[in-house]
Structure 1
Amino acid sequence: MKLSIKRFMKKGLCIAAMAMSCGISAFAQGITTANEFFKAVSDKYATFKDYQAVVDIKIGNTPMAANVLYLAPDKMRMDFSNPAQQTIVYDGKKLICYLPESASVLTQDSTGANPTTSEGLSLLRRYYTVSYEKGQEAVALEDGSDEMVIKLILWRRTGSESFRNIKMAIDPDTKLIRRIIATTPGGVVYQFDFRGYEINQGLTPKRFEYDIPSGANNYDNFLFSE
């Protein structure tokens, strides 16, 4: 059974979530070259045992909101308030995306390097070039904002990568990621805005267990489906 256009959009969100988890699971400190700064933020995130944060998401003009949980080295969960009950879970072995409006569950077994590990982050650095978007000095997050950030931009090295470029805005004091904007080759823009970080709160693997709702339509290995 083919997924609807709207379900393909949600499929893209799940793919973006995997890429995002790569972006939120390791970054750094030390302002010299952009590559060194990127590695420094990576090194700092690598010291976190766990964290949670609120994330506001936009896919094109469609707004979403979720609470995101991360547990080192490879677990991530997003519980959505908009749309309510939508859930994305990666338990280190399988990615599960529950879409309540269509009563669908998309699952994908993990293959290759886990994108939420330092290995996955290294692959991101290998396949994307890193540069400052606005230079080494902190700039406004956006026009009219008093919030100051360091902005990086990653450009794909080959045409096989999921995103044409990935922009990151990082707090210069805490070295926490404030915003990720990822653009696909087709021009679809995924934006993730993080706030309210809580670090090393003692999260346990049980928080990443997920029971698939009974009666949901299942689509296995959706990343490779037509």
Structure 2
Amino acid sequence: MVKRLTAAWVCVLWVTGGLVGQEVLTAQQFFEQVAQRYAQIKDYVADITITTPQSVMRGTLFYKRPGKLRIDFSEPEDQVLVSTGEELLIYVPSERVVLQQSLSGSGLQLATGEGLALLRRNYSIAYLEGPGYVSLDPEELVAAGKGSPEPVVKLNLTWRSTRVGFRQIIMSVGQDGYMRRLKGVTVDYQEVTFDFVNIRVNQNLPDARFEYDSPPSANVYYNFLFNPES
């Protein structure tokens, strides 16, 4: 279970920021505006839902530039993800384990500019349905009361290199200029969806918010994603 969610957690490290786009622009120009907006955000708080084929996770996301990120999950209860930009820590209470990963030299960057540079470097960028606003969810889901008609602009990112974790990433940008949803298709064609709501930017988050001491009874597994020296 933990293994399946690894790609989702790593993807969180790429997409911590807000988006903006007002004029009719090419997809690349729109993406560059995204990068500029990311760089202006000092910190933010958002409610996040991560949906995979196996589970739905919900929690509160905290981000602070440069490189600090934390998610306190309500589902699964008491699960925590913390990253300093140099180290990633995930506490999984159901397994009583702490997963700890050194990010030094890994290319995983939490600073918003670096995150978008990673996407720009490894993905081709286009509009999914043109530069105009479309419904966040398909009309049939909205009609059935199972989706949101919220207007968004959708960017379609397709991989240039098989070394990245997602074949395709769809970014959905709301009318308020912030990312509303991100959907990724993994190497083995599994979908991982991130929904962001109730976004509050520049909240003057203290550094102490990103400090975390795991329970002493938990088993610790180091470098569970990769060897940082390889």
TM-score normalised per structure 2: 0.89
Residue 22 of structure 1: SS of its match in structure 2? coil
1:20 aligned residue: 12
| 1:6-33 deviations in Å (ceiling 9; x for gaps) | 23124x2xx4223223122364435411
1:75 aligned residue: 68
> How far apart, in 2, do the equivalents of 1:17 and 1:31 lie?
33
> How far apart, in 1, do the equivalents of 2:199 and 2:18 lie?
14
1:62 aligned residue: 55
| 1:71-98 deviations in Å (ceiling 9; x for gaps) | 0121110000000000000012210011
> How far apart, in 2, do the equivalents of 1:184 and 1:215 lie?
34
Shift of residue 111, structure 1, vs aligned partner: 2.3
Q: Is residue 2:118 matched to residue 1:123?
A: yes
- Which of 194, 197, 200 is the equivalent residue of 2:196? 194
Aligned 8 A contact 2:20 2:173 in 1: no
Counterparts of 1:41-56 in structure 2 under 5 Å?
Answer: 41-56=34-49
> How far apart, in 1, do the equivalents of 2:217 and 2:187 lie?
35
- Which of 196, 205, 220 is the equivalent residue of 1:218? 220
| 1:53-80 deviations in Å (ceiling 9; x for gaps) | 0011111151110100000121110000
> How far apart, in 1, do the equivalents of 2:4 and 2:127 lie?
30
2:145 aligned residue: none
> How far apart, in 1, do the equivalents of 2:24 and 2:37 lie?
14
Residue 203 of structure 1: SS of its match in structure 2? coil
1:155 aligned residue: 158
> How far apart, in 2, do the equivalents of 1:18 and 1:208 lie?
17
> How far apart, in 2, do the equivalents of 1:37 and 1:154 lie?
13
> How far apart, in 2, do the equivalents of 1:106 and 1:178 lie?
28
Structure 1: give runs of 5+ residues left out of the alignment.
1-5
Aligned 8 A contact 2:48 2:59 in 1: yes
Counterparts of 1:99-118 in structure 2 under 5 Å?
Answer: 99-112=92-105, 113-117=107-111, 118=113
Q: Is residue 2:172 matched to residue 1:169?
A: yes
TM-score normalised per structure 1: 0.90
* Alignment RMSD: 1.6
Identity of aligned pairs, percent? 36
> How far apart, in 1, do the equivalents of 2:42 and 2:182 lie?
22
Structure 2: give runs of 5+ residues left out of the alignment.
143-147
Aligned 8 A contact 2:49 2:58 in 1: yes
Q: Residue type matched to 1:126 in 2?
A: R
Aligned 8 A contact 1:26 1:121 in 2: no
Aligned 8 A contact 1:18 1:115 in 2: no
Count matched residues. 216
Shift of residue 47, structure 1, vs aligned partner: 0.7
> How far apart, in 2, do the equivalents of 1:7 and 1:18 lie?
12
Q: Measured at CA, do residues 53 and 212 of structure 1 come closer, stay the same or move farther in structure 2, by a change above 3 Å?
A: same
Shift of residue 192, structure 1, vs aligned partner: 0.7
More helix by share: 1
Q: Residue type matched to 2:68 in 1?
A: K
Bigger mean CA deviation after superposition, 19-28 or 62-71: 19-28
